């Protein structure tokens, strides 16, 4: 409250209501007690950060103002030591400036990655709810990656992702590219059984397909179910298989769910791996040594040589290497 007299010696009283952001600055600038003395470290860090925003040109958002009031209410019994009427001030709070307005946007778009490959991009203004929904469904979205700034995500451009993301994000009022909607409409129009039948190996009449698989396996090769299943990734076909998966390493490789498979050396030896690749007619095979240390490379060469000989592979084996020749 300020009192002064005008030229006519009339008494003028100006009532100045202290604002919540002024209170916040007073609290964080206190040295005895400090804000850390008044509340837990986590809350004091939050208020110090919000005080920095208050002092900035952009001020704070309405959500940030609500957070300040929330923390003041939670710690009012401690804050009364520095602001005796804190309980009254937070009942009807006032602020020195208008809150900063945040642009609201939610978009699913087609874009390109650093290699100029098409991808799906998910942009949205900060929303913990949307972020939580995406994180909860991350195992259902192929190649989902959080980008910078943290409010954006990208995902692999696949039919599955298009359908899943359109159905996931439409109820959240996302703006979706027209091209994505068109792809979604086409994909949803497909009949799964019809598509599966089209790619059955027994139904494929394309001559290039037959030439490729014949060139790969040879004309006289007996195509058992393990080999047929193994090549389905390379040639993108399906087949009606009533047999159970063989209990063997060759079976594990052939019936893999992705194009790559991890073979645990603690479970299978290199001899078993080479035997399985021969069974699947996966030769020639390129072996890459992961270490440039000469002792380790030599040790691996001996193991490989033994595994090849035990599988009767005694010819057409080449070794290419390049080592540091310093000191020779």
Q: What tens digit of pLDDT does each residue of 99-154 get?
A: 988 778 899 999 998 888 999 999 998 778 899 999 999 999 999 998 866 668 99
230 and 276 co-located in one domain: yes
| Residue 311 within a domain | no
Beta strand ranges found along 98-189 (DSSP E): 106-112, 118-124, 145-146, 153-156, 175-176
211 and 171 co-located in one domain: no
Q: How many Å apart are CA 275 and CA 254, to the nearest integer?
A: 13
pLDDT (0 to 100) of residue 92? 87
Percentage of the residues of the chain whose pLDDT score is greater than 70: 90
- Find, among 201, 287, 286, the residue nearest to 237 by Cα: 201
pLDDT (0 to 100) of residue 42? 94
3-state secondary structure of 61: coil
| Residue 287 within a domain | no
* Arithmetic mean of pLDDT, 204-211: 77
pLDDT (0 to 100) of residue 194? 83
| Residue 28 within a domain | yes
Cβ-in-10-Å burial (0-12, 13-18, 19+) of 272 comes to middle
pLDDT, one tens digit per residue, over 228-273 is 888 888 888 888 777 888 899 999 999 888 888 999 989 999 999 9
| Residue 226 within a domain | yes
111 and 162 co-located in one domain: yes
Q: What is the pTM of this model?
A: 0.49
Cβ-in-10-Å burial (0-12, 13-18, 19+) of 249 comes to buried
84 and 46 co-located in one domain: yes
20 and 83 co-located in one domain: yes
Question: What per-residue string of b and e applies to 82-104 under the rule 16 or more CB within 10 Å gives b?
Answer: bbeebeebbeebebeeeeeeeee
What lies within 8 Å, CB to CB, of 206 at 6+ separation is: none
pLDDT (0 to 100) of residue 147? 83
85 and 128 co-located in one domain: no
- pLDDT confidence band for 15 (50 / 70 / 90): very low
What CATH number did the domain enclosing 127 receive? 3.30.780
Count up the domains in the chain and report the number: 3
| Residue 299 within a domain | no
| Residue 292 within a domain | no
Domain range for 27: 2-89
76 and 46 co-located in one domain: yes
């Amino acid at each position: 409250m300020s009192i002064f007299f005008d030229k006519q010696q009339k008494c003028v009283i100006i009532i100045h209501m202290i604002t919540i952001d002024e209170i916040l600055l007073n609290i964080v600038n206190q040295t005895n007690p400090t804000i850390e003395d008044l509340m837990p470290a986590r809350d004091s860090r939050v208020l110090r950060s919000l005080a920095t925003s208050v002092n900035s040109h952009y001020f704070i958002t309405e959500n940030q103002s609500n957070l300040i009031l929330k923390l003041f209410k939670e710690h009012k019994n401690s804050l009364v030591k520095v602001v005796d009427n804190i309980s009254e001030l937070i009942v009807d709070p006032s602020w020195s400036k208008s809150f900063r307005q945040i642009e609201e946007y939610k978009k699913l778009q087609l874009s390109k990655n650093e290699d100029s490959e098409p991808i799906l991009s998910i942009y949205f203004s900060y929303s913990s709810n949307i972020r939580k929904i995406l994180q909860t469904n991350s195992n259902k979205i192929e190649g989902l990656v959080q980008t910078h700034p943290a409010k954006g995500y990208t995902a692999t451009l696949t039919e599955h992702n298009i359908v899943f993301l359109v159905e996931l994000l439409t109820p959240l009022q996302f703006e979706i590219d027209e091209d994505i909607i068109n792809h979604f409409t086409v994909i949803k129009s497909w009949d799964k059984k019809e598509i599966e039948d089209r790619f059955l190996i027994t139904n494929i009449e394309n001559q290039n397909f037959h030439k490729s698989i014949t060139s790969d396996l040879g004309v006289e090769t007996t195509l058992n179910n393990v080999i047929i299943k193994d090549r389905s990734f390379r040639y993108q076909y399906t087949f009606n298989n009533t047999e159970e998966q063989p209990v063997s390493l060759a079976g594990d490789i052939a019936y893999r769910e992705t194009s790559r498979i991890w073979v645990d050396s603690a479970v299978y030896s290199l001899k078993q791996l080479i035997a399985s690749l021969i069974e699947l007619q996966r030769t020639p095979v390129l072996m890459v040594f992961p270490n440039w240390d000469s002792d380790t490379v030599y040790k691996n060469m001996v193991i490989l040589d033994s595994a090849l000989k035990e599988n009767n592979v005694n010819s057409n084996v080449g070794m290419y290497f390049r080592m540091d020749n310093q000191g020779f």
